[in-house]
Amino acid sequence: METAAIHSAKHILLLIGIILGAGSFSGILAQKFKVPDVVLFLLIGIGLGPELAGVIDVKANSPFNQLILIFGSCYILFDGGAALRLRVLKKVWITIVTISTAGVLITAVITGFAASYLLGLPIITGLLFGAVVASTDPATLIPIFKQVRIRERVAQTVLSESAFNEAMGAIVTFVVMGCALGTGGQLSLGEATFSFVSNTLIGVLIGGVLGYLSALLIAHEKFSFLLEYASLVTLMSVAGAYVSAETFNASGVLAVFVFGIVLGNKNSFGFRMEPQEEEKLEDFILTTSLIMRMFIFILLGSQVSFELMGKYLWSGIAVVLVLIFVARPATVFLCALPDRRANWSLNEMLFMCWSRETGVMPGALAGILLGMKAPGADVIASVTFLTILLTILIQATTTRWLAGKLGLLENHIS
């Protein structure tokens, strides 16, 4: 007689097979039509979800879904961090810091007031929505920039911002939520600033230390006794960086991103792998990242509720348009234009204005608000999912076209 555990295990195995099969088919189509694969993963997820075909029905709060979201996002972040180069980041760090901190507040305030007016919400509830969607999504941007080669410093600035602003977006959300629930006095502006700085520093420290140790064990001339297990080292370290940072109430996603930067720039720290070993590791990371984004975006698409979004469809679309065409441009120009060191051109800033897909973190924050029964949580959740859909479907699909028009496409793989 089959036990409940065996039945559940078989169901998960079937689900994994369906997602891998559908993801592979979507990936082939994405290559053929030259669109980012995350777009088709999202669409195929919607088609296979309970609202349409009913083939995939995974609850957002299930352990399986949470595991995929956490580890999958972390591995994609690690992959993105490993692709960044310190020589580029040194030139644009002022913009990255400004847009990841003050920029999140600018986006949250503009979007929040627009949501309050267009959705008929109290100001504090509108600001809560603005805080939820203020951060961009590295899990979406990284695979897009892997497929569409953008001018190096622009791509790396957008990717770095998306990793750093997640921590800021989460902190702003919880501060505003405290005010909405009547507990705002428990967290002052000074405490919020201290929390952000300490969380960031701890995350950077943990990611940096693990990145250096990993590079030492797989690429040092004498101590690289784990060279044959380099792929496993990346898996263990991604999980270790996230869990270690979260244990200290720091940003796990930031720790993973920094880990990727350090490991990806190991040559700068005096470490070197043989070309064939380096190629093996890169192939493993590439394949694993592809699998992770298949799972993340197919599951995310399957969890879209048409009924929930339909309630606030047109007013929600209007809010998303304000986010895309008002809040984001204001954020980019106010934060990047003063950076004389980077000396951004108009075309570069226009492209950064368009590159702000919403994804995993805002979706997770909206889910938390629903669980805590925060004021207006149902409205926030529905419009957040609408924001995720529209920004990915509209902005991700037009990235290559816009970059070409602005003269920002690279002709070679860097």
Q: Which of 167, 150, 53, 126 is CA-nearest to residue 323? A: 126
Per-residue pLDDT tens listing for the chain (414 residues): 678 888 888 888 999 999 999 999 998 998 888 777 888 888 899 899 998 888 998 887 788 888 888 888 888 888 878 877 888 888 888 999 899 889 999 999 999 999 999 999 899 999 999 999 998 877 778 778 878 888 889 988 998 888 778 767 877 887 788 777 765 444 456 666 777 788 788 989 999 999 999 999 998 878 888 888 999 999 999 999 999 998 987 878 789 989 999 998 998 888 888 888 888 988 998 899 889 888 988 988 888 778 877 878 899 999 999 999 999 999 999 999 999 888 899 999 999 999 888 877 787 777 777 767 778 888 888 898 889 888 988 888 899 899 999 999 886 443
Catalogue the E-assigned strands of 247-390. Answer: none
Give the pLDDT confidence score for residue 47 in this predicted structure: 92
Give the pLDDT confidence score for residue 183 in this predicted structure: 53
Give the pLDDT confidence score for residue 174 in this predicted structure: 75
Kindly report the pTM of this predicted structure: 0.80
| Alpha-carbon span 88 to 409, nearest angstrom | 17
| DSSP-derived secondary structure letter, 52 | T
Give the pLDDT confidence score for residue 182 in this predicted structure: 66
* Tokens (6 digits) for 401: 């076209």
| Alpha-carbon span 301 to 295, nearest angstrom | 10
| Alpha-carbon span 67 to 15, nearest angstrom | 14
Give the pLDDT confidence score for residue 340 in this predicted structure: 87
Strand pairing partners for 409?
A: 150
| Alpha-carbon span 333 to 309, nearest angstrom | 31
Question: Across the chain, which distance is largest between two alpha carbons, in Å?
Answer: 71
Q: Are 260 and 204 in contact (CB under 8 A)?
A: no
* Tokens (6 digits) for 259: 């880990």
What φ, ψ does residue 160 adopt, rounded to 5°? -65, -45
Strand pairing partners for 150?
A: 409
Upper half-sphere CA count for residue 67 (Cβ side, 13 Å) = 5
Rg (alpha carbons) of the chain, rounded to whole number: 21
**Domain 62-405, what fold?**
Na+/H+ antiporter like fold (1.20.1530)
∠ CA 331-332-333, nearest 5°, is 95
- What are the counts of helices (DSSP H) followed by strands (DSSP E) for the chain? 18, 0
- Three-class SS of residue 409? strand
* Tokens (6 digits) for 19: 């997602």
Question: CB 117: neighbour CB atoms within 10 A?
Answer: 15
Q: Which of 154, 114, 150 is CA-nearest to residue 133? A: 114
Question: CB 231: neighbour CB atoms within 10 A?
Answer: 16
| Alpha-carbon span 370 to 381, nearest angstrom | 7
